[in-house]
Structure 1
Amino acid sequence: MVILQLRFLLVSFFTSIVGEAQYVMQDAVLMHYIDRRFLSLESRLEKCNQDILDYVQEFHDFSRRMISHLEGLRVYKAEFKNEVAHLLTRVERAQRDIDYFESTRESTACVEVDEDLVEKQLNEDAEEKRKVKLMLNASCDNMLAGIKSIKIVKKTGDMHGSWMTDPGKDHLKIYFLSGSKNNVILEFANIRAFTERNHKLTPRRVNLPSSWQGTGHVVYNGFLFYHIYGSLNEIVKYNIQRRKVTDRMLLPGAGQISAYELFPDTKIDLAIDEQGLWAIHAEPDTSGNLVITKINHMTMAVEHTWDTSCNSKNAEGAFLMCGTLYVVYNSPSGGTSRIECVYDVLDTINTYEIPVLPFPKRQGSHSMIHYNPKEKQLFAWANGSQILYKLQTKQKV
């Protein structure tokens, strides 16, 4: 009997132990399942966060692309508006010329000439010339008689570039812009600091926000005017001391072809003379003939445009003096530079009687020729050399 009771107790004991073990196993399986679910949720949350970050980055990239496209559209709109205005001006000029020629042409038939129309056309031409004379300084009556001498100041920098002083300021600072595409100006205190190798006379370095195109830039009244690289015809006005862009403009009709065949990098050649700021360029509509535009340097607005008879073929550069354009030509192989074409906007020079004006003997061609009205000499760059030309002038006949 005792044995039976003991067996019953043992069975009951082992049964309770097995039951508790089963509960422990079930709890462990459940905990393991819960852990896996949490890990799965964490993985999904991480993927969701990454997807959100990717979407945000894609939206930012899309926004930047849209802003860039909108900026391009604004530039295109301004350029198109300027081109339309330029075209309308040309159409009006052409219409006036057609009306004038039709009113004055001779005919074998008996034609009654409308004297009122002829008189009106003559009055309009006279009024146009009067406005141009009022706009320009008519008292400037000097013209070029010859190139008197040459001085090679220094040989440094790239094969092509620009160097100049500011004719609108009293200081003697030299501005050095090396290369036909760059964005760094070196400002020297004077010509001595530019020519001497003195570590104490180091130039001030100015980094532009965008690169220039060609070598046709100028410094005037403390501002650098230059054609932006990569743009068709955008000109920037940059304050050198404050280091910021203060204005910009689109030059109608410019930038499609090079201004000078022998130096194709320059599409727009800016110039300074006694009258202020000018732009020189060529257009396909004029068969490659040069076009000169008077620009108001304060407002960056076009004041007047002239189609000249000087062609860009075999031209290497040009400059203006007292409202007269002088175009320098050479041979493609690089011979002696010479002035062969002259155009006076006031029509006070008989350009057909002006002889060919050669530069002092030297081989090679110029990549930049700019007139300085304050110093009455030419600043030039040829084959990596910075050159000064003294001029011989006389009064316009």
Structure 2
Amino acid sequence: MKPVLILLLLSTGWTLCRAQVYHQALMDYLENRLLAVEGHVHLYQEQWRHHQAEVQDLRKQSTETMEALRQQHHALSEDLAAAAAGVERVEGDMDTVESQTSPRACAKEADRVVEQGVWSQEESRGDQDEGWEEIPSRVSDCVEIISSIRSVKILKRVGAPKGVWLRDPRSSKVYVFNGTAGDTVYQFASVKAFTKSPGGAGARSIRLPSAWRGSGVAVYNGYLYYVQQGADVRVVKYDLLSGEPADAAILPVESRSVVYGLNPETLADVAVDDHGLWLLYAGGESEANINLAKMDPVTLDIEHIWETPCPRDKSEAAFVACGSVYVVYNTRLPSRSRVQCVFDVNDKVASEEAPLFYFPRRYGAHASLKYNAEERQVYSWDDGYQILYRMNAKKKLS
């Protein structure tokens, strides 16, 4: 029994020794792992403190940069405000200088070409040296000319970039022709009603028997006059009260000849002033200047024709006031519109007093200009904006 007991004791001791060695190795391993983890934690703490310091520095730099940008923005705003004020002063000075030194190349005495409506074609083409007699104008003398623009009022923006709007001089009704061609006209009760109508709502639609084209439209004494283009060019007289066409007349206009170089949609323009109905047109492609005709508003007969000194090239629109035609010019790239040619059928406007002036800079170029003699205002359509120009007038030289 003794040997067995001794062996059992030896075996147990060996087992305990091995267990103690294994336990010590495990403790050493765990201690090493903990030391490694502590090292990593310490490294991460160092990196976090470094990043936190960088974030604080970045935050400080951002704050300083934002403050500097605010100061620069404030200074830039002040500079822009000062520049805008300077530009406004310069534009005012330019308007003053332009009104005093506008070019007068087109302002000449009227070189009147007269043609009596009752003459035959052969007689009108006869030799000027044999029996040609200058017929005096039937337009009564007018003592005033438009001298400058008194004020500008932009009412609204509605419709296409090009169009026409105007008021009947004998009533308060306003008529709107949207676009460059169509057979529908929109009638409003007044300028105020047109201004307050959202998007043109509340208008009365008038369907015409044929299509109008360009800016050649006018309203006079309850009748609508518009230019119709087909196999020939004619002006149509439409009775607004009865809603029926009243008359039509073929115009001395070629179908390919436009009256205004910058508005090719307008073959002929119809205008109204104190003396009645006028027609502006180009006799042909070879004719460089605009022709002016006085029309009988009842019969549409052409009473007189004048060849004006006003070029068609670079013209955008024109209006007639008190027996004088004012042609407005621009450039191919819209700039500042200007009255650069004035023609008086009564020879009462000398070149040195011709009122050549610039329009205030607006959006693009005038698609139409319609003068209202009762209000002494010009109704303008400019890039979809409806604008009113109130005009100043002065007496003509006697």
TM-score grouping bracket, smaller chain normalisation: 0.5 to 0.7
**1:91 pairs with 122, 125, 138, which one?**
125
TM-score normalised by L of structure 2: 0.66
Instruction: Give unpaired runs (5+ residues) of structure 2.
Output: 1-116
Name the CA shift for 1:221/1:260 in 2 (closer, same or farther; >3 Å). Answer: same
Match for residue 137 of structure 1? Answer: 140
Give, as a single letter, the amino acid of the residue that structure 1 aligns with 2:222: G
Name the CA shift for 1:285/1:348 in 2 (closer, same or farther; >3 Å). Answer: farther
Which structure 2 residues correspond to residues 111-150 of structure 1 after superposition, within 5 A? 124-125=133-134, 128-129=135-136, 132=137, 135-138=138-141, 140-150=142-152
CA offsets per residue over residues 349-394 of structure 1, 9 Å max, x none?
1135425311122241101011111111101101011110010110
Instruction: Give unpaired runs (5+ residues) of structure 1.
Output: 1-82, 101-119
TM-score normalised by L of structure 1: 0.66
Are the counterparts in 2 of residues 86 and 253 from structure 1 also a CA contact under 8 Å?
no
Distance 1:302 1:288 in 2: 21
Name the CA shift for 1:86/1:185 in 2 (closer, same or farther; >3 Å). Answer: farther
Distance 2:359 2:380 in 1: 12
Distance 2:283 2:384 in 1: 29
Which structure 2 residues correspond to residues 248-327 of structure 1 after superposition, within 5 A? 248-284=248-284, 287-327=287-327
Distance 2:153 2:199 in 1: 25
RMSD over aligned Cα atoms: 2.4
SS of equivalent to 1:194: helix
Larger-gyration structure (1/2)? 2
Are the counterparts in 2 of residues 255 and 268 from structure 1 also a CA contact under 8 Å?
no
Match for residue 197 of structure 1? Answer: 197
Distance 1:361 1:278 in 2: 28
Distance 2:204 2:355 in 1: 43
Match for residue 371 of structure 2? Answer: 371
SS of equivalent to 2:125: helix
Are the counterparts in 1 of residues 158 and 200 from structure 2 also a CA contact under 8 Å?
no
CA offsets per residue over residues 101-142 of structure 1, 9 Å max, x none?
xxxxxxxxxxxxxxxxxxx87xx44xx22xx1xx2122x211
SS of equivalent to 1:284: coil
Are the counterparts in 2 of residues 154 and 195 from structure 1 also a CA contact under 8 Å?
yes
Are the counterparts in 2 of residues 232 and 256 from structure 1 also a CA contact under 8 Å?
no
Are the counterparts in 1 of residues 363 and 382 from structure 2 also a CA contact under 8 Å?
no
CA offsets per residue over residues 223-267 of structure 1, 9 Å max, x none?
110111334321100112211111000112454410001000000
Give, as a single letter, the amino acid of the residue that structure 1 aligns with 2:140: N
Give, as a single letter, the amino acid of the residue that structure 2 aligns with 1:387: I
Are the counterparts in 2 of residues 179 and 215 from structure 1 also a CA contact under 8 Å?
no
Distance 2:231 2:352 in 1: 37
Match for residue 219 of structure 2? Answer: 219
Name the CA shift for 1:200/1:331 in 2 (closer, same or farther; >3 Å). Answer: closer
Give, as a single letter, the amino acid of the residue that structure 2 aligns with 1:302: I
Q: What is the percentage of aligned positions where both structures have the same residue?
A: 34
Distance 2:203 2:179 in 1: 17
* Structure 1 residue 285 displacement after superposition: 6.8
Give, as a single letter, the amino acid of the residue that structure 2 aligns with 1:164: L
